[in-house]
Amino acid sequence: MFGTPTTAAGIARVLREELDMHVDFVGTYVLAYGDWLRRRVADLTDNVVVTDDFRVVAKLIDENRPDIMFGSQMERHSASAVGVPCAVISPPAHILNFPLGYAPFIGYDGANHIGDVVNQTQVLGLEHHLIETFGPRNQGRFAEAMPEGAEVHAPTVAVAVAAVETRELRWDPAAERLVSRIPFFVRKKARNNIEKYARDNAIPVVDERTVLAAREHVGG
């Protein structure tokens, strides 16, 4: 759970007390309300994160791999990169996260609504358009969010062939450069898709053509 302090504290309590869900961590980017949030959720979790750096939260999501994440649109992008479903409950958010219909967050109806949010988020899964939206074809401000000093390393992955023989899947430097243009919070998922495409098609070396073909294969 991560977002504005009142939203994070309130919904975390509903999830724990109304839906009997375990709360891994609660956090906010409003630094001045860190102590306030700690007091409000002291009986729910001792893992309270107060930071305005979304990369810190992305790292927590990657390390904890919760069954479901609740946060802003930024946490949704970060969670998508590691296959974690995420419901947007706090700004910054997408316009689609503000429906015109009746959507209460308190009382009996509110508990039902939040229950629906949990169920729909887990059932519907992740948006496959994220890689296309923030990938090589459409560079944007998220591409600039890669941590300073981060380097691209060519992975060496053992691949099973015919369940007996194994060989190395190698990455061409040009393909590495192409993948490095994908924002880091969706890069891992994109790399996994590319490597799966290469394995399925018995491609021993991932080059630029493999990257582009894999992107088209997943609908990008």
Give the torsion through C-alpha atoms of 139, 141, 143, 148, to 10 deg: 150
Asked whether the beta carbons of 91 and 97 are under 8 A apart, the reply is no
Residues 93 and 23 in one domain: yes
Helix (H, G, I), strand (E, B) or coil at 104: coil
Position 100 in a domain:
yes
The whole-number pLDDT of residue 166 equals 45
- Give dist(CA 30, CA 52) in Å, integer: 7
Position 146 in a domain:
no
Position 184 in a domain:
yes
Residues 114 and 157 in one domain: no
- Find the domain containing 104 and state its range: 2-127
Position 88 in a domain:
yes
Residues 34 and 119 in one domain: yes
- Give dist(CA 79, CA 1) in Å, integer: 12
Residues 22 and 95 in one domain: yes
Ramachandran sector of residue 26 (left: φ over 0; alpha: ψ -120 to 50; beta: rest):
beta
Position 136 in a domain:
no
Residues 14 and 121 in one domain: yes
**Domain tally for the chain?**
2
The CATH number of whichever domain residue 184 belongs to comes to 1.10.8.550
Side chain identity at 150, as an amino acid letter? A
The CATH number of whichever domain residue 31 belongs to comes to 3.40.50.1980
pLDDT tens across the length of the chain (220 residues) = 999 999 999 889 988 888 788 999 999 999 999 999 999 999 999 999 999 999 999 999 999 999 899 999 999 989 988 888 888 888 888 766 666 666 666 666 776 777 777 777 766 554 544 444 444 433 444 444 444 454 444 444 444 434 434 457 889 998 888 888 876 667 778 888 898 889 889 899 999 889 888 888 776 5
Cβ neighbourhood burial of 200 (10 Å; 0-12, 13-18, 19+):
exposed
